[in-house]
Amino acid sequence: MTDTISDIALIPLPQNVKLKAGRFNAPSVLRIRVEGTPTDDLHPTVALLGQWLLQKDASLQWESAQEAAEIQLSLEHDTSSEAYRLEIRADGVILSGSEAGCVRGAAALIGLLDQGGWPCCVIEDAPRFAWRGMHLDVCRHFYPVDRIKRLLDLIALHRMNTFHWHLSDDQGWRLASKAYPALNDVSAWRDRDGQPYGGYYTQEDVAEVLRYAQQRHIEVVPEIEMPGHALAALAAFPELSCSGGPFEVANTCGIFDDVYCAGKSSTFQFLETILAEVVELFPGRYVHIGGDECPKTRWKDCPDCQAQIKAQGLQDEDQLQSWFVSRMGDFLQSKGKRMLGWDEILEGGLPASATVMSWRGIEGGIKAAQMGHDVVMSPTTHCYFDYRQSEEPEEPGNLGRIPIDTLYAYEPIPEVLNAESARHILGVQGNIWTERMPTWKLVEYMILPRMCALSEVAWSPADLRDWKGFEQRLMQHLNTLKSMGYTYRHPERLHREFPL
């Protein structure tokens, strides 16, 4: 690394930058080509880069070139790597890496573009963590596919690679089911001022989101909550509860006593059928089963649950939840998937293949890593984007306060872990719980610019991170976000240019 890295207004910060004299001033029509690609094919990365160029600067036009071009992509065969090399010369740009690496490099190229063109430099870069994620709760408020795509673009532009899609909760069921259409007709809707409020994603919607994510080399992780946070599903299928209902889709947030009955075979038939549909829809490695905030009140009084405890040789309701979660994990493993869950799934033991998402602080992540489980760190202390950003009276948000500098200071690998356990920290994720975000502008406002800080925590080497340098680069980065039409909070004041 040279001491010129601070002169590159790029977020997240690259591993290595060599700044050179001069700039590349793009012509009005940029030609982009992929070395070795058939001339009659428009490579997905070319299309993506062209889309971003138009979004960043409407005066820049682009075309896919067959021969000479100002921007040349050189693809390498290591498809597992997200590393890239970006060389900007006075006469053009050379970007090399795997397809995923070229997408990460294209995002860096967009971040460097300003009205004066691109600065001449050589960037050699790779991510620190394999999991660099953003979560979105669409259960409290349903957001259409075009909003999901805006988030996917933000994920890709910040060189992140995982989208955790929270698709079921007490307040709504958002994934269409062919086996159980009542989930679409009943569970996807709640009453709001006498009108049905909600919606769901069809299987065609999911396929569209997956195509969009795949082009950006983003893995989509679906979440279907169990055994708690199940009121929306129970509104359609009350027989899957301990009491038999009736139930309504929740209109308020909280933790509700009525959950899936762990003693009925019909519960597992339902959930396994749903998960089979999820597995068929989503090609990624992981399926998230929630596992958090499950009261045992109904289980204690339920003869079916008590019979299950006895039949399985369990001691209590806590072990019943562990058995429930393990059964779901075994089912997913039989389908070639890895189970992911919030850190409550640690209680009572886990399948060896389970991955833990640590949200109640870092202790769950530490315990899981020491047990040999892979971990995604996402503690409420740093990674919850529904928390307020400041103490200002007009600031929207929920619960506590996480200013951007607090998030930027976060270190995902706890000091107490030895080298062997630290290997299990896959990375870090920001969570967007939307109780107080009924509009998409509020979603963007609450995540930006904190997502910028998280991207640097996830991507950049820890020893290169510097708050003062980040603050300086952030001002230029906000100009990029503004030019691309995103809503954000100015880190020094409430941002009033975009009414909320």
What is the reported pLDDT for 191? 94
State pLDDT tens for residues 279-312: 999 999 999 999 999 999 999 999 999 999 999 9
pLDDT higher than threshold 80 for residue 274: yes
In the annotation, is 164 catalytic?
no
CA pair distance 423, 202, nearest whole angstrom? 38
Percent of the chain with pLDDT over 90: 84
State pLDDT tens for residues 120-171: 999 999 999 999 999 999 999 999 999 999 999 999 999 999 999 999 999 9
Closest CA to 110 of 33, 180, 57: 57
CA pair distance 424, 417, nearest whole angstrom? 10
Catalytic residue among 43, 141, 158, 229: 229
Q: Kindly report the average pLDDT of the chain as a whole number.
A: 93
How would residue 2 be classed by pLDDT, with cut points 50, 70 and 90?
very low
In the annotation, is 248 catalytic?
no
Give me the mean pLDDT over the 14-35 stretch: 92
Give me the mean pLDDT over the 183-191 stretch: 97
Q: Which domains, ranges and CATH numbers included, belong to the chain?
A: 5-125 (3.30.379.10), 131-483 (3.20.20.80)
Catalytic residue among 169, 170, 344, 386: 169
CA pair distance 258, 227, nearest whole angstrom? 10
Least trusted range by pLDDT, from 297-311, 362-376, 381-395, 438-452 = 381-395
What is the reported pLDDT for 21? 93
Angle between helices 450-459 and 467-483 (to 10 degrees): 120
Place of tokens 């047990």: 371
pLDDT higher than threshold 70 for residue 497: no
What is the reported pLDDT for 43? 86
Based on DSSP, count helices (H) and strands (E) in the chain, helices before strands: 16, 21
Q: How far is CA 172 from the centre of its chain?
A: 19
Q: Name the β-bridge partners of 31.
A: 63
What is the reported pLDDT for 304? 98
Percent of the chain with pLDDT over 70: 95
With the C-alpha atoms ordered 46, 51, 55, 61, is the resulting torsion angle positive or negative?
positive
pLDDT higher than threshold 50 for residue 272: yes
In the annotation, is 229 catalytic?
yes
Angle between helices 145-157 and 440-447 (to 10 degrees): 20
What is the reported pLDDT for 352? 81
Report field, pTM of the whole predicted structure over 0.75: yes
What is the reported pLDDT for 68? 87
State pLDDT tens for residues 61-84: 898 888 889 999 998 877 779 999
Closest CA to 308 of 260, 264, 258: 264
Sequence-ordered alpha helix ranges (H) in 237-357: 265-281, 297-301, 303-311, 317-334
Place of tokens 């994620």: 133
Is residue 227 within 8 Å of residue 165, measured between CB atoms? no
State pLDDT tens for residues 408-454: 999 999 999 999 999 999 999 999 999 999 999 999 999 999 999 99
Catalytic residue among 7, 124, 293, 347: 293
State pLDDT tens for residues 447-476: 999 999 999 999 999 999 999 999 999 999
Is residue 326 within 8 Å of residue 333, measured between CB atoms? no
What is the reported pLDDT for 486? 95
- Residues ≥6 apart with Cβ < 8 Å to 314: 308, 320, 323
Give me the mean pLDDT over the 320-331 stretch: 95
Over the range 122-157, which residues count as b (16 or more CB within 10 Å of their CB) and which as e? ebebbbbbebbbbbbbbbbbbbeeebbebbbbbbbb
CA pair distance 156, 171, nearest whole angstrom? 29
